[in-house]
Structure 1
């Protein structure tokens, strides 16, 4: 599959690499890492990474602004994106000649002309590392290794989740062998602003936990605005609830825009991606997300998550 992708890239002079909305370290690490790899292999070609720029993740890779007309004769590669509607783009990518999808989520939407999808990988960054080993004579640089390592520890939550495998650890060791500062990268991902610290305190004070072990917090727009968060910072608080031993699965609901609720779903062992899909989202069995457009739908989703736990314990 990697050879097929490389042959396709050979046919184009302009390649645009995209990823999903509300990017995390894996999305940007995969995007920026792949661009750096391909630029080494094809120095005569032009590679662009673009999407909403998040200042909190600029240290992994900073986005570029490109005109819509550039897509017309280009090849688009979408990484870490399960379905086309989640691509972080205004739709201009649809004018590209061809699209390649590289992803580690369940393949519910094979929107690419070439689809390299493998849910056995812990992260898309772990998949991207495969490029470096498939290209004869390729020398992995520290710059590339830093981006991919950031992506891997981001999606595995520093090797805590169930997708972490022997291959994940072996890949991480090979990246560390380049001499990257793994402690610095981990600390940078773990670091939070004072605003996020205040939000974590709010969540712990207002968190609801049902008898079944389902934890949830709904943060309405007026409350969220009080914390003055930068884009992307709310993602820091999502793992917090899972550290409580009585919690089996949980959601964090945030209303950034009026009556548009972003819902992060997480679980320790019970698959929750089916619930996310019922509400128009998706993701991994233990880590998924969706958006809903009313507080009533939020309440319905809360009820469904609680019932899921109850059924598990019957």
Structure 2
């Protein structure tokens, strides 16, 4: 990020009466935290503007905030700000294209610069961290970051750093998190809520731990539609268990594949080998150590696993 980009962003926010904030499909805490945190901050800056957040509602993350339900006419003449979304096909509401202007703010490698303004910082732990930096760099920190904004940005940072355990946790990340904790937020309750699982989820986690395979340094499991039905769990809820076997000894990377009807969504994680190029090869992308891919048959999933083993054992 640079000051010139931030100034342009603030000028655009000042210029539009309607601002609609988007994020990616299958949102995580960072996508939702940055989205709702920015919404509240802009509303504080401009109480008379219409500021909306859109996307599919995820039940287990409702505690972060609720989405707005908009008719198509609301998008015309609006400014679209898309957060935490590396490539346009993953934006969770195709009506961003109806807006007058699109701005992208993201911390993933910039493979698809779809915005008229693209603010990308791959050194940031999360998009929530970026939103904090944008607000404070623009001089809005003290006035427009309140407890409501702070709780959203904090949970976003916690989510994308794996509770500060992942390698993307920098000294700056910790400084920002400490600053957010100075507000009146119950961070323990939020983290507990984020980690909370119902009985079905815990039983599903037991299945994952009993049935994942570890071969040549690669862990993997394929959750079929039959398994989802057996545990009465949705594909999106199943994906929350991507790190269920992350602590397995002698495992350098892993793949958590879920049958989502039209595609098999594969979440890739690594303890060292770079995997985002592999994800890009299979219709996806992401960070060097945390990416997502899509395949369309069991045979293609097997090819992906073979390629992942090659990367781990090079």
Unaligned runs of 5+ in 2: none
Map 1:84-99; keep pairs closer than 5 Å. Answer: 84-89=88-93, 91-99=94-102
What per-residue deviation string (whole Å, max 9, x for no partner) do you get for residues 261-281 of structure 1? 011000011111111000010
CA distance in 2, matches of 1:289, 1:75: 28
2:124·2:130 contact (CA, 8 Å) conserved in 1? yes
CA distance in 1, matches of 2:295, 2:235: 19
1:83·1:109 contact (CA, 8 Å) conserved in 2? yes
Structure 1's 83 and 155: CA in aligned 2 closer, same or farther, altered over 3 A? same
3-state SS, counterpart of residue 173 of structure 2: helix
CA distance in 1, matches of 2:240, 2:152: 18
CA distance in 2, matches of 1:83, 1:65: 23
3-state SS, counterpart of residue 88 of structure 1: coil
2:20·2:81 contact (CA, 8 Å) conserved in 1? yes
Please identify, of 228-237 and 190-199, the stretch whose mean Cα deviation from structure 2 is larger: 228-237
Map 1:219-298; keep pairs closer than 5 Å. Answer: 219-230=223-234, 232-257=236-261, 260-298=263-301
3-state SS, counterpart of residue 63 of structure 1: coil
2:235·2:258 contact (CA, 8 Å) conserved in 1? no
TM-score (norm 1): 0.95
1:224·1:256 contact (CA, 8 Å) conserved in 2? no
How many pairs are equivalent? 308
Shift of 1:309: 1.1
Structure 1's 231 and 252: CA in aligned 2 closer, same or farther, altered over 3 A? closer
Q: Give the equivalent residue in structure 2 for 1:129.
A: 132
CA distance in 1, matches of 2:273, 2:47: 46
CA distance in 2, matches of 1:110, 1:292: 24
CA distance in 2, matches of 1:38, 1:235: 32
Q: Give the equivalent residue in structure 2 for 1:113.
A: 116
Map 1:28-67; keep pairs closer than 5 Å. Answer: 28-67=32-71
Q: Give the equivalent residue in structure 2 for 1:162.
A: 167
Shift of 1:294: 1.1
Q: Give the equivalent residue in structure 2 for 1:150.
A: 155
What per-residue deviation string (whole Å, max 9, x for no partner) do you get for residues 144-165 of structure 1? 1111111000011100111000
What per-residue deviation string (whole Å, max 9, x for no partner) do you get for residues 6-31 of structure 1? 10111110010000000000000010
CA distance in 1, matches of 2:144, 2:223: 46
Cα RMSD of the aligned pairs, angstroms, is 1.2
Shift of 1:246: 1.9
2:34·2:153 contact (CA, 8 Å) conserved in 1? yes
TM-score (norm 2): 0.95
Q: Give the equivalent residue in structure 1 for 2:303.
A: 300
CA distance in 1, matches of 2:39, 2:153: 11
Unaligned runs of 5+ in 1: none
